[in-house]
Copies of this chain bind each other. A is one copy, B any other.
Amino acid sequence: MAEPKQERAVRTRDTILTAAAEIFDEYGYSGASINKIMTRANVTQGGMYFHFKSKRELAQAVLTHQQEFVDPPAEGFGLQGLVDLTFFTAHQLTSNVLFRASVRLAVEQGEFGQRDDTAYQEWVEQLYVHLCAAREQGELLPEVDERELANVLVGAYTGTQIFSNVASGHADLPERLVSMWRYFLPAIATPHGLARVELPAHVARLAA
């Protein structure tokens, strides 16, 4: 039986998005082209234009689908879950090309005249859920505002990975995250929370 039309369209769209992420990761936005992406995805011009009309539209899609490109461990909410998530995404930045391309486009979006904070806001939401769980588990100090802190952490993490990228191609990101948490945890966690949360004792440098 032939694959239903709609399913095939979804599959083609996914194939194109993956190819686009790979090309943007390799060439950056200005070095990428819709032709390179078509070749990588092995789709016809018709197939491409049915889904995406321009390189910019493709970059926009890769940027905003950031959450689909990572599959964080489901278990562990609260403060430990939050800390683990930052180390998990650090590894994804070196091992997962789709995620890395999406993050790169989110950072370099000025290059294609974009100003879109969707990817950032989605991370704020994820962190907010962890912080609400941390609150319920008695891990957060009373003066912490969960939404404000989620915003602060997304900003701090973003710059930490950028600095790590220019300094070492992300190799020293785990070390930098340990440092970041060393200076956040005492300001946000109750003694009970501090006692429960563990930073990785030995962080390996990632392959740059």
Contacts and interface: CB of A to CB of B under 8 A. Distances in A.
Given A28-B110, A107-B107, A107-B108, A115 B163 contact: no
A120 interface: yes
A59 to B, nearest CB: 12
Interface in A119-143: 120-121
Interface string A150-163: 01101111111111
Contacts of A164: 155
- Counting chain A residues whose Cβ lies within 8 A of the other chain, the interface size class is 35 or more
Nearest to A188: B183
Contact of A167 (B117, B152, B157): B117
Q: Count the copies.
A: 2
Q: Interface majority SS on A: helix, strand, loop or mixed?
A: helix
A120 B167 contact: yes
A92 B163 CA distance: 21
9 contacts: A29-B30, A104-B110, A107-B108, A120-B167, A149-B179, A155-B163, A159-B160, A159-B161, A183-B187
Given A155-B162, A156-B156, A159-B160, 7 more contacts: A28-B111, A104-B110, A106-B166, A107-B162, A117-B167, A148-B182, A152-B183
Interface of A: 28-30, 104, 106-111, 113, 115-117, 120-121, 144, 148-149, 151-152, 154-167, 169, 176, 179-180, 182-188
